[in-house]
Chains A and B, each alone.
Chain A
């Protein structure tokens, strides 16, 4: 029988100091990540809202154009009323699709 004896090369104090150092660095890193994340979230959210506002202006212009075209008096604009209206017959259904 042989007695097996393990010897640990580092003292408990050294281990604790090392662990504290690692945790501190991790903590600081985490704070940095979180702060960056929060800043990017706010910035991105703001940029999305600004883009939405720009899109809203474009949509407003689109709806204003639809209203202008719908309300246009074509006779006053110089166009003549059609003299004959032709209706598409039911046999030509596919032509409408």
Chain B
């Protein structure tokens, strides 16, 4: 009995030893013999060596039906690195790298391969899934194929300056450098330990996070108000103007005047956010908040609204237009140098009369003029774009009347495009300026969508003053634009063109170089859209009506169709197309 028991014990013991031996042998093969292969395989599956995969929240466009479309997201693929110490045939490896990826130049590649004191040099990025898998399957000695992620902009150049870019900047981590990427970097950036955290350590050291996770309350995606199809339409029009007139720069904004939500914001020159290698850094900034322009005659409706609001005129008031006047030894003339005689206020807007605008500034008086224009342009708009600059209103702090008279028709003071559309929005929005904005909400990782508050308004004009000014702009569209052919029988549109002379480096004005602008909103008395367009230094044309009319009208018709804006004028008719 005892001997049988001892035999059984020995048998079990031998079995345990045998299993242990088998496990040890298996471990030896896995960890020692094939260890390197498994390590590479793991790296390919999860992360490039040395650091975790890049992670960052997304930025979304919002279609009119509420569907979110990525404006900035992450792409996944592979990078290729070489170990110069074990690389045998650099020529063959270089030839095998796909041309579609971001590969080092031939010289740089062979210089890297010659550095025998290095063990890791990245030579190609952004390989597709298929390219990476194909290359990895070759098992080329000295070549590592590692998984990577990078920032990807599906719209390429669509709203590029506004969306912004991500780069290393001065540190060793990637962060938003321009546009929304910079403004909302705190929300979009991700902590690096999200995938590789120690569960036990997290459990015991961050018990509080189980209840309230600070990261989840901070990190997320951002949702913009930009509508991708409207944005594309605007960008397309801007590009056409830029190319046709060889302008220095051109831009446009479409905004909801009641809320300040920017539906489209496009400018030229622009860049593709996915291909930044040869981009001139001077175009990475956003001209809508960083550049100031003398907008010209689109300032006249603001002068008119100011004078009406102050009660110094009524729409029935008349003045004697002499064609030219002299103020502080400087001459101010109408665009065609012609006198109109005694005419009512509406004609100042319809015929875009500089002498009339100057007359309004004089009637208003310097103090009141300064108060209105400082309220309109004296502060930054607070739009969620970085590096917003202020307006140049120096002429309004002097006592010379010429500064006020020229400001009345948009010369001598310079404002940003966002300031301009915000101020014009007051005429479209019952006299109240709204806060222009691009991001409507933040979608936190915790699942909560936090709406941003952009409800702050500044009342500048009375409802009566803006209604009367709107009627004048409405008449400008129906009577003057395209000689009256722009009139839409079933839709009221308020519009105004502007042409200003560009300044010389010496402080004077060119007589043959211009800045063209255009502003309009519709339906005139309950506007859903306000459009601001401009082109700087177009060649071969003098007036904004020649460069921007067609684009404005195309956008108006597009928006009416796209959003099915109901008619606001009661008569039905048909007209010959132009």
Contacts and interface: CB of A to CB of B under 8 A. Distances in A.
Interface of A: 34, 37-38, 41-42, 45-46, 49-50, 52-53, 55-57, 59-60, 62-64, 66-67, 70-71, 81-93, 96-97
Given A56-B152, A63-B228, A85 B70 contact: no
A84 B232 contact: no
Nearest to B72: A56
Interface in B312-361: none
19 contacts: A41-B195, A42-B196, A49-B76, A49-B149, A62-B69, A63-B155, A67-B158, A81-B577, A86-B574, A87-B575, A88-B572, A89-B567, A89-B570, A89-B572, A90-B490, A90-B568, A90-B571, A91-B570, A97-B564
Contact of B567 (A46, A63, A84, A93): A93
B490 A87 contact: yes
B577 A34 contact: no
Interface string B37-62: 00000000110000001010010000
A87 B572 contact: yes
B569 A90 contact: yes
Contact of B232 (A66, A86, A93): A66
A95 to B, nearest CB: 9
B64 to A, nearest CB: 13
Given A70-B236, A89-B567, A89-B570, A82 B70 contact: no
Nearest to B567: A90
Contacts of A42: 46, 195-196
A96 B196 CA distance: 54
Contacts of B77: 53
Contacts of B76: 49-50, 52-53
B489 A87 contact: yes
Given A45-B195, A49-B76, A53-B74, A87 B570 contact: no
B207 interface: no
Interface centre among A59, A71, A82 (most CB of B within 10 A): A59
B73 interface: yes
Interface in B463-505: 488-491
Q: Is the interface of A mostly helix, strand, loop or mixed?
A: helix
A13 to B, nearest CB: 23
The 4 A-B pairs with the shortest beta carbon distances in the complex, nearest first, are A89-B572, A60-B154, A53-B76, A90-B567
Interface string B552-578: 000000000000101111111111110
A71 B233 CA distance: 8
A63 B575 contact: no
Nearest to B229: A66
B70 A59 contact: yes
Contact of B490 (A60, A71, A89): A89
A96 B567 CA distance: 9
Contacts of A64: 156
B199 interface: yes
Contacts of A91: 570, 572
Nearest to A94: B566
Interface string B122-165: 00000001000000000000000000010010111010000000
B577 A82 contact: yes
B5 interface: no
B25 interface: no
Contact of A85 (B58, B74, B570, B575): B575
